[in-house]
Structure 1
Amino acid sequence: MSSASSPSDSALRLPGDPPGGRRAVAVWCIGVSVYFVAVIFRTSLGVAGLDAVERFDINASALSTFSILQLLVYAGMQIPVGLMVDRLGTKKVLTIGVVLFTLGQLGFAFSSSYGTALVSRALLGCGDAMTFISVLRLGTRWFPARRGPLVAQLAGLVGMAGNLVSTLVIARLLHGIGWEAAFAGSAVAGVVVLVLMLLFLKDHPEGYAAPPLPASHKGAAYVRAQISAAWREPGTRLGLWVHFTTQFPAMVFLLLWGLPFLVEAQGLSRGTAGELLTLVVLSNMTVGLVYGQVVARHHSARLPLALGTVAATAVLWALPVVWPGQAPMWLLVVMCVVLGACGPASMIGFDFARPANPPERQGTASGIVNMGGFVASMTTLLAVGVLLDATGDDYRIAFSAVFVLQAFGVGQILRLRKRAARAERERVVASRVTSVHVPA
């Protein structure tokens, strides 16, 4: 994503492609800063899980309900948000999202009961749900299509930087200034990005506005048609299952269960456990840059990268779980490095859905894909919490829930891969035929 368009970029742009350039980078950075703050708020519970148990006097299942409810709202909002982005544009949807997730974080800071804390996390999840799809749409409206994979990976990288802030800053604030000051103080970041966005964010470059939707593109019938058309595309469904299968192990580890596992099952101090969570984030940021470049240059590498990540994650998740006694530090380090590849691999799902759908359906298709990993995360968070309570905190049994969802997801990927590849080849051929017959 260069600061200016090069001659080669201009030559490779498709008709109607936005030019990119410095202004695109500046506008995109404002949009992605909103996602950055949303991820800080989303993952702040991951470093506060043990504190939440004490504050609200709850067990493992009740603790997991915080994240499950947040992700349930997030996943349930993905298709509605996709439709909203397609119809209202990025700026309006992001504005609603910032207001909601900031109120949720502020409410969580001052919640004194389990019930009000749950409502606050649900509100946060609703606002958070409006950020990532909006940022993906912003990238497609400001950068050429060939930059899509790299721009999407960079967005994911910035999100992981937000996770890094949670593990490094929020954790220290919690134990330095206390629960209320830490969460309320972090909510100020939401106000800052709201002001920046209202002043400087634009949906698209001048002259590149999407054509207005016909009057017939309204109402419940149109919504059903949009969802149905996006779902019928094999690339959309393949993208969903890639996202489902790759993202959730790292999400489960970072969002809630990583810190308790490392402290309670592996006997590490909170400080050391926090450093390992930070390693997951740093690995994610590094791998994201690599995956983005590889996919942008070698489109055929998408599925091997995704499946290879799933296989490596399964192996490195299993070893510490079945290791007799406490796993050695080198193994926990390798596990965290491999978990860092889950986020970048999940972004590959959008690279299957993007070429399968026209511009007016990109938000809807992205919403369908984005549901995958969060449904898997939500399911696993609940399963781990229930199994921990049922087995007396036996992490070996509880963490085995990951393998069930991985096996199911891989089966769906293998079932759809040929169908999606065939449909993509047909679109490429059709676009070449069309370009030959359209006058220059």
Structure 2
Amino acid sequence: MSPTVTQAPAIRRAPPLAWAILGLGVFAYAVAVLNRSSLGVAALEAQERLNASAAQLALFSVLQLGVYAVMQVPVGVLLDRHGPRVLISCGLLLMALGQGLLAVADSVPVGVVARMLVGAGDAMTFISVIRAAVNWFPPSHLPLVTQATAIVGQCGQLAATYPLITLLAGFGWTTTFLSAAAVTLLVFVLAALLLRDAPADSDHRLHRTGLGETRTSLLLAWRQPGTRLGFWCHFTVQFSGMLFVLIWGYPFLVEGQGLSPGRAGALLASMVPAGILMGFALGRLSALHPQRRMHLVVACLVATVATWTAVIAWPGTAPGWLLGLLALALASNVPASMVGIDIARSHNPRERLGIATGMTNSGGFFAALVAILLIGATLDLVSGSGGYGTSEFRVAMATQFIVWILGSLLLLRAHRHLRDV
């Protein structure tokens, strides 16, 4: 197996200010998750307001995720050059602009542009918070800090369920998305004024490399077997939970399983505390048993595939307890994908962390955009003009198996390569 890269810590222990910086970064990421997930609970309203078909509605999320995924490597390069504060601030500003544009959108093209702006801003946030954590915390803290960032940041999903559903019902589309834009703009001001890239006495340096050196760093990062293994872990295990939260979960539960909007929102919201608990558990296990990280990823993948299989195969609508198990399994997807990021981080030197993290973090988003598009196209194909019900969603959700099979094969291949090096 390739030896793990030993990274000299910039600091021996985290100063109190580190926790304040991390808290602000996690808050910024939670707002990014709010913006990312906001269309999911408004999917039915979006179809009516923008006169969009299921395939067109899927296109919103596909392009948003496509922008996010494609930007991960360029953002990683910019992160190594300009630091977390600049990238997080710019990301928040782009998301505020996107949500403001969506608030006044009345057609599919305008809505698509708005969601692409949200995707671009979202792309700058998470890996920048992780890079700030690398600068402020010693390596022994990083598996747990990474999980904490990802999972506590998912609290933004809570704001994208009950509060947004309430705003939509009481005040309508425009007020809802303008409110999201205003919150994002406020956090932009806080980040621009208060965030710091690293402690003043650390050895942190920005890497302002030329084009040729950047190309070399990209090649070296991808040729590192640990980066490829992290990428395929992220690709295979994250996408199902993501598409459920972003767009198809709420329509699936309401139209496909007959739940009331309140119960559907409660089920989506329950994924957040469940994910927090799983995230801290997986982060602790990843730190204590780094040689067993693949076992953690595979266990979460098996649980997700098994519960989806049971829901899809269940005659008629699935019982509440089974949908609860599905929510629990999907809640493990983000924590498991963070294990993939931890694998890539531990096999790359500090000067390539932005690039390697960006590469790895793009995996699940590429998988999600493919799966979202497959589900939307399948719904339109099997439903005709009759609307979407249990049977239509059963067929559409089964297309996830295509992505799982592809990802699992490539994951096993990458793991074999890492062992053989």
What interval of TM-score do these two structures reach, taking the shorter chain for normalisation? over 0.9
Conserved 8 A contact 1:17-1:145? no
2:204 aligned counterpart, secondary structure: coil
Structure 2, unaligned runs of 5 or more? 1-5
Tell whether 2:195 aligns with 1:201: yes
Q: Which of residues 394, 397, 401 is equivalent to 2:395?
A: 397
Tell whether 2:351 aligns with 1:360: yes
Q: Which amino acid aligns with 1:91?
A: R
Q: Which of residues 328, 331, 334 is equivalent to 1:343?
A: 334
* 1:339-381 deviation line (CA, Å, top 9, x unaligned): 1101100101111111111111000000100110000000000
2:129 equivalent in structure 1: 135
CA distance in 2, matches of 1:319, 1:127: 37
CA distance in 2, matches of 1:230, 1:351: 14
| RMSD of aligned residue pairs (Cα, Å) | 1.5
Q: Which of residues 210, 232, 246 is equivalent to 1:218?
A: 210
**Structure 1 segment 81-96 matched on structure 2, within 5 A:** 81-96=75-90
* 1:385-414 deviation line (CA, Å, top 9, x unaligned): 000010114112111111111111111121
Moved more, 200-209 or 130-139: 200-209
Q: Which amino acid aligns with 2:398?
A: S
1:371 equivalent in structure 2: 362
**Structure 1 segment 290-369 matched on structure 2, within 5 A:** 290-369=281-360
**Structure 1 segment 413-432 matched on structure 2, within 5 A:** 413-421=411-419
CA distance in 2, matches of 1:93, 1:422: 37
Alpha-carbon deviation of 1:15?
5.4
CA distance in 2, matches of 1:152, 1:113: 38
Alpha-carbon deviation of 1:18?
4.9
Tell whether 2:31 aligns with 1:40: no
CA distance in 2, matches of 1:144, 1:384: 42
CA distance in 2, matches of 1:248, 1:126: 18
Q: Which amino acid aligns with 1:410?
A: S
Query: What percentage of aligned pairs have identical amino acids?
Result: 41
**Structure 1 segment 101-120 matched on structure 2, within 5 A:** 101-120=95-114
1:44 aligned counterpart, secondary structure: helix
1:77 aligned counterpart, secondary structure: helix
**How many pairs align?**
409
Conserved 8 A contact 2:10-2:136? no
Conserved 8 A contact 1:13-1:144? no
Distance 1:312 1:213, change over 3 A: closer
CA distance in 1, matches of 2:13, 2:104: 46
Alpha-carbon deviation of 1:244?
0.3
Distance 1:204 1:59, change over 3 A: same
Conserved 8 A contact 1:230-1:357? yes
1:151 equivalent in structure 2: 145
User: Which has the larger Rg?
Assistant: 1
CA distance in 1, matches of 2:414, 2:63: 30
| Divergent runs of 4+, >3 A | 12-18, 211-214
CA distance in 2, matches of 1:363, 1:71: 19
2:160 aligned counterpart, secondary structure: helix
2:407 equivalent in structure 1: 409
CA distance in 2, matches of 1:301, 1:167: 35
Alpha-carbon deviation of 1:265?
1.4
Conserved 8 A contact 2:81-2:206? no
Instruction: Give TM-score, length-normalised by structure 1.
Output: 0.90
Tell whether 2:59 aligns with 1:65: yes
Q: Which amino acid aligns with 2:393?
A: Y
**Structure 1 segment 162-177 matched on structure 2, within 5 A:** 162-177=156-171
Q: Which amino acid aligns with 1:222?
A: E
Q: Which amino acid aligns with 1:218?
A: G
1:122 aligned counterpart, secondary structure: helix
Q: Which of residues 245, 248, 255 is equivalent to 1:257?
A: 248
1:207 aligned counterpart, secondary structure: coil
CA distance in 2, matches of 1:25, 1:132: 16
Alpha-carbon deviation of 1:212?
5.5
Distance 1:400 1:227, change over 3 A: same
Alpha-carbon deviation of 1:281?
2.2
CA distance in 1, matches of 2:74, 2:9: 30
**Structure 1 segment 217-296 matched on structure 2, within 5 A:** 217-219=209-211, 221-296=212-287
Distance 1:379 1:15, change over 3 A: closer
1:430 equivalent in structure 2: none
Alpha-carbon deviation of 1:200?
1.5
CA distance in 1, matches of 2:418, 2:64: 32
Q: Which amino acid aligns with 1:395?
A: F
Larger RCO (CA within 8 A; separation ≥ 6): 2
* 1:315-335 deviation line (CA, Å, top 9, x unaligned): 101111111111111111111
* 1:175-230 deviation line (CA, Å, top 9, x unaligned): 1111111110121111221221122111000121424547xx312x2221111010
Structure 1, unaligned runs of 5 or more? 1-11, 424-440
CA distance in 2, matches of 1:333, 1:242: 25
CA distance in 2, matches of 1:122, 1:16: 36
* 1:259-285 deviation line (CA, Å, top 9, x unaligned): 111111111111111111112222112
CA distance in 2, matches of 1:264, 1:197: 40
Instruction: Give TM-score, length-normalised by structure 2.
Output: 0.94
Q: Which amino acid aligns with 2:400?
A: V
1:192 equivalent in structure 2: 186
Conserved 8 A contact 1:139-1:148? yes
Alpha-carbon deviation of 1:158?
2.2
Conserved 8 A contact 2:37-2:157? yes
Q: Which amino acid aligns with 1:413?
A: L
CA distance in 1, matches of 2:300, 2:167: 34
CA distance in 1, matches of 2:191, 2:419: 38
Q: Which amino acid aligns with 2:191?
A: M
CA distance in 2, matches of 1:158, 1:175: 27
